[in-house]
């Protein structure tokens, strides 16, 4: 899966969960996001793999470590959270530690909520409601296409509302 596809899935999951919990803050975990994505999409590979180094040192044949695929997905999830934060879609009262993969509590910003509350002309559901539905069942090509379209609509709507025009 390309990084942009992972970004769109994580953005959908994050925005859908914050929309569902709005106006209450919600803790976001890049570990939990990556684990969920890898469980929904087995083609990404396993979360944990055998660790022969630890197995030899500890004499533990069942020793495991995080897989390279999981480490990459966790990084994409963390950077998706930071991108949404930096672009003003989500906010936090906590100091964000960019060097650590620490969990933080977030809520939709006014910009994020406004973008998710928009009901496009071709649909009777808001972008937020559409994201909630698609994020739960977004595996497969149809799900990827729907997520891509909705995330594009949300980002475009937020830029138009800010007076900057489309990105």
Radius of gyration from C-alpha coordinates of the chain: 18
**Confidence bin at 67 (pLDDT 50/70/90):** confident
4 pLDDT above the threshold of 90:
no
**What is the spatial distance between Cα 157 and Cα 160, in angstroms, rounded to a whole number?**
5
pLDDT at 167: 44
pTM here?
Answer: 0.79
How far apart, in whole angstroms, are the C-alpha atoms of residue 155 and residue 116? 9
């Amino acid at each position: 899966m390309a990084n942009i596809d992972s970004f769109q899935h994580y953005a959908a999951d994050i925005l859908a969960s914050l929309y569902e919990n709005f106006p209450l803050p919600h803790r976001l975990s890049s570990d939990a996001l990556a684990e969920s994505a890898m469980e929904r999409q087995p083609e990404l590979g396993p979360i944990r793999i055998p660790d022969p180094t630890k197995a030899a040192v500890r004499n533990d044949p069942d020793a495991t470590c995080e897989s390279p695929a999981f480490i990459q997905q966790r990084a994409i999830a963390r950077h998706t959270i930071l991108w949404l934060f930096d672009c003003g879609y989500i906010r936090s009262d906590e100091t964000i530690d960019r060097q650590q993969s620490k969990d933080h509590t977030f809520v939709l910003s006014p910009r994020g909520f406004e973008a998710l509350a928009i009901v496009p002309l071709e649909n009777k559901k808001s972008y937020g409601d559409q994201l909630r539905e698609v994020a739960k069942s977004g595996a497969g090509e149809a799900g990827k296409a729907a997520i891509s379209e909705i995330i594009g609509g949300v980002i475009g709507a937020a830029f138009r509302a800010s007076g900057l025009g489309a990105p």
